[in-house]
């Protein structure tokens, strides 16, 4: 399941938690746990603990699916 999540993230698109959870047919709670696991493994890095609604000042505001809520993650290591 982690490999499926990484495959979705490798595409370079932005996703909301809801979108990713639906695509993987899992709960958002399980998705959060998977993202944290991938962070511990060194594949992801958390960019922000939350936007706080400061979208216009963010460099990613034009492509962000978070809508000013939630956590932002960046893929930093490609799986083999």
| Plot region of 10 (φ>0 → left; ψ -120 to 50 → alpha; else → beta) | alpha
Domain ranges of the chain: 2-68
- Render each residue's pLDDT in the chain as its tens digit; 80 residues: 999 999 999 887 778 888 999 999 999 999 999 999 999 999 998 876 555 555 666 666 565 655 555 677 788 877 66
Predicted pLDDT of residue 11: 85
Predicted pLDDT of residue 80: 61
Predicted pLDDT of residue 69: 57
């Amino acid at each position: 399941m982690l490999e499926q999540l990484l495959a979705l993230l490798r595409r370079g698109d932005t996703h909301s938690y809801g979108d990713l959870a639906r695509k993987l047919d899992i709960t958002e709670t399980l998705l959060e746990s998977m993202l944290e696991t991938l962070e511990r493994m060194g594949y992801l890095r958390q960019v922000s603990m939350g936007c706080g609604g400061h979208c216009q000042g963010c460099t990613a505001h034009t492509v962000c699916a978070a809508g000013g809520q939630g956590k932002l993650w960046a893929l930093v290591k490609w799986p083999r």
